[in-house]
Structure formats: structure tokens, C-alpha cells
Amino acid sequence: MRLSPLPAFALALALATPALAEDAAPKKSGGPRVVCANNTKDGSRAVQGTDLVIEPGEKVKDAVAVDGNVIIRKGAEVEDAVAIRGRVIIEPGARVKGDVITLGGEVRVREGARVDGDAVALGGKLKLDKQEAVAGDKVSLSFEIGGRDLVSGIIEDVLDDEMRCHIVDDEDKDA
């Protein structure tokens, strides 16, 4: 079985290139939140601290979320999808032409969705409504010691040390 180099690339991309931007999610009061988003010229999207939703009819090259979920709606098409400390959810009628990968999260492929490549969950779970919805390899690696997933713990430790996003503290705006 050959694993794709996409997880390492996605992690490097997510840690090295997030741009500062205001997210479209509703503002929650009461403390700091991480706000990062990046849209590239090649059609890739990356977010941190919020969900990335690919809407019907959209075509995205790579969809990456750190500390958030990648949600691919019916009629949307994505080349590759990666969630770090989050889930990739592929709704019925959505298609991923390449691979779906989570590091410290879950891959969820609903009935009627399609993944042409591999589905990989490192430090998380792989949930497929139908096994044949994924054309490539199906990999789920989780190793728990004392109720804590070791793979997920390593990912969290690395990301906590290397966060490079702007932190918005809603309380500071009022001062």
C-alpha cells in the first residue's frame, strides 16, 4: 500500500502560508479566536479555526482546514481534501477526485458521495456509509494509551507549538 505525500504537504502548507483575513462565521463573544483564511490563484482554499464549506457547483483544487472541518456539499467537486484536527465530511452527491485525509480527525463519506482516491484518517476514524464509495485505499490509524490517542496527541503538540495565525480577542475591541 502506497500512502500519498499529501498529508505532509498539507500540514506544511497550512502552517507556512495562512493569510490574515476576517472569517465569515458568526462572531462569538467571550474570548479570543483564531481567524485565518487563504484562497490561492490555483483554486485551493485553506482556513484555520473555522469550517471550510465547499458549496454546490464549486470546483476547488485543494481544500485544507486546520482546527476546523472541510464540508463538501452536494454538487461540489474537490481535487483533494485535508482536515487537521477536524473532519472531512462529504455529503451525498459530492465528489473528491483525489484523496481525503484527516490528521487527528474523522473522514465521513455519506451514501451517494464519491472519493476517487484514498481515504485516510490518522489519529481518527474512517466512517463510510458504503465501502465502495472510496475507490482507493481505506486507512484508519489510531493508537490509544490511557484513553488518549497517541497519533492525535503528537499532531496537537506540533500544531500548538507552531500556530501562526492572527488571534482576535473580541473583548479588546470594547476597551
pLDDT of residue 145: 79
| Cell 454546490 found at | 56
CB 111 within 8 A of CB 133: yes
CB 60 within 8 A of CB 77: yes
- At 164, the amino acid letter reads R
Helix (H) or strand (E) holding 169: strand 166-169
Residue 56: other Cβ atoms inside 10 A = 13
pLDDT of residue 167: 42
pLDDT tens, the chain, 175 aa long: 555 555 544 444 444 444 333 334 444 445 555 556 777 778 899 998 899 999 999 999 999 998 899 999 999 999 999 999 899 999 999 999 999 999 889 999 999 999 999 999 988 899 999 999 999 999 998 877 787 777 777 767 766 655 555 444 444 444 4
Q: Where are the beta strands (DSSP E) in 49-137?
A: 52-54, 59-66, 70-72, 77-84, 87-90, 95-96, 100-103, 106-109, 114-115, 119-122, 125-128
**Bridge partners of residue 124, in order along the sequence:** none
pLDDT of residue 159: 61
Q: Is 10 helix (H, G, I), strand (E, B) or coil?
A: helix
Q: Is 171 helix (H, G, I), strand (E, B) or coil?
A: helix
pTM for this prediction: 0.69
The residue among 8, 83, 7, 76 whose CA lies nearest residue 48 is 83
Instruction: Report the C-alpha gap between 61 and 76 in whole angstroms.
Output: 11
